């Protein structure tokens, strides 16, 4: 018996974009449900139990920014925002309102599939489940039980704040973490405006962990939005 295909709900009013995504996703064994309006999307999300939701931010009957938190109330499925807009504040707002990740149009199919895989993996893990005890990417190895960090086999000393920031990035591995999310999780709710803290500590982490801190491979900047820890 083959397992039932995973179901993706595509909320997008653009017909050609829907056709492109439908074809690409079906070719990769996804079952695709479609909605062209916010209203339809909310109904489908509540009734069809999708595994992942792709949400366009510009919908004819409502802004995706209003839709994201409403979807979040009716489903636990990860929400990936797909948006043509260059307006970073919209992506940030959607992420802070409950979306899990975003892709800016135009994007490639491999990138979309990779984001969907990461989203599914995070969603399938209960919030209180322990993380893998060791994180590894490239030359960096983090022992999350002993709180030790190695680069190319050598132990690297991190300050407590640097370590907290790295461990938080590992919890978000593969997904974007917004400035607000990182500041709140590492420093606390009173610090969400202090983006310069992040810049300083991210620079320190890169200096200690990246072979070329000016061209980070592990701790990537998502301009205007936040940071993404790359797993591969």
**Interacting residue ranges for Ca ion, rule: CB under 5 A:** 13, 56, 58
Crossing angle, helix 195-209 and helix 160-171, to 10 degrees?
Answer: 90
**Cβ of residue 226: shortest distance to Ca ion, in angstroms?**
24
Residue 28 or 85 with smaller CB distance to Ca ion: 85
**Cβ of residue 58: shortest distance to Ca ion, in angstroms?**
4
Residue 35 or 219 with smaller CB distance to Ca ion: 35
**Cβ of residue 12: shortest distance to Ca ion, in angstroms?**
6
Residue with the CB atom nearest Ca ion in the bound state: 58
Edge-to-edge strands, sheet with 79-83? 31-35, 7-11, 52-56, 79-83, 101-104
Alpha helices in the chain (DSSP H): 15-27, 38-48, 64-74, 88-96, 109-124, 160-171, 179-186, 195-209
Residue 94 or 182 with smaller CB distance to Ca ion: 94
Distance of alpha carbon 74 from alpha carbon 196, whole angstroms: 36
Residue 56 or 210 with smaller CB distance to Ca ion: 56
Q: Biggest alpha carbon distance in the chain?
A: 55
**Cβ of residue 81: shortest distance to Ca ion, in angstroms?**
11
Residue 83 or 181 with smaller CB distance to Ca ion: 83
Instruction: Return the HEC string of 32-46.
Output: EEEECCHHHHHHHHH
SS3 137: strand
Distance of alpha carbon 195 from alpha carbon 177, whole angstroms: 13
SS3 158: coil
**Cβ of residue 85: shortest distance to Ca ion, in angstroms?**
9
Residue 17 or 109 with smaller CB distance to Ca ion: 17
**Cβ of residue 56: shortest distance to Ca ion, in angstroms?**
4
Q: Beta-carbon neighbour count of residue 68 at 10 Å?
A: 22
């Amino acid at each position: 018996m083959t397992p039932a295909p995973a179901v993706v709900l595509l909320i997008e009013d653009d017909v050609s974009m829907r056709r492109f995504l439908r074809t690409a996703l079906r070719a990769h064994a996804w079952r695709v449900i479609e909605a062209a309006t916010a209203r339809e999307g909310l109904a489908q999300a509540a009734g069809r139990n999708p595994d992942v939701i792709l949400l366009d931010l510009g919908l004819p009957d409502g802004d995706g920014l209003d839709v994201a938190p409403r979807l979040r109330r009716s489903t636990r499925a990860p929400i990936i925002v797909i948006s043509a807009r260059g307006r970073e504040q919209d992506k940030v707002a959607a992420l802070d309102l409950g979306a899990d990740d975003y892709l800016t149009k135009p994007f490639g199919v491999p990138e979309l599939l990779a984001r969907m895989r990461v989203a599914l993996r995070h969603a399938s893990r209960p919030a209180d489940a322990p993380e893998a005890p060791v994180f590894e990417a490239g030359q960096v190895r983090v022992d999350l039980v002993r709180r030790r960090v190695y680069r190319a086999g050598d132990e690297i000393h991190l300050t407590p704040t640097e370590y907290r920031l790295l461990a938080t990035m590992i919890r978000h591995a593969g997904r974007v973490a917004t400035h607000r999310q990182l500041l709140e999780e590492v420093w606390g709710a009173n610090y969400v405006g202090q983006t310069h803290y992040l810049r300083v500590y991210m620079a320190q982490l890169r200096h200690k962990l990246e072979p070329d801190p000016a061209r980070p491979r592990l701790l990537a900047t998502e301009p205007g939005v936040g940071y993404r820890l790359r797993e591969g």
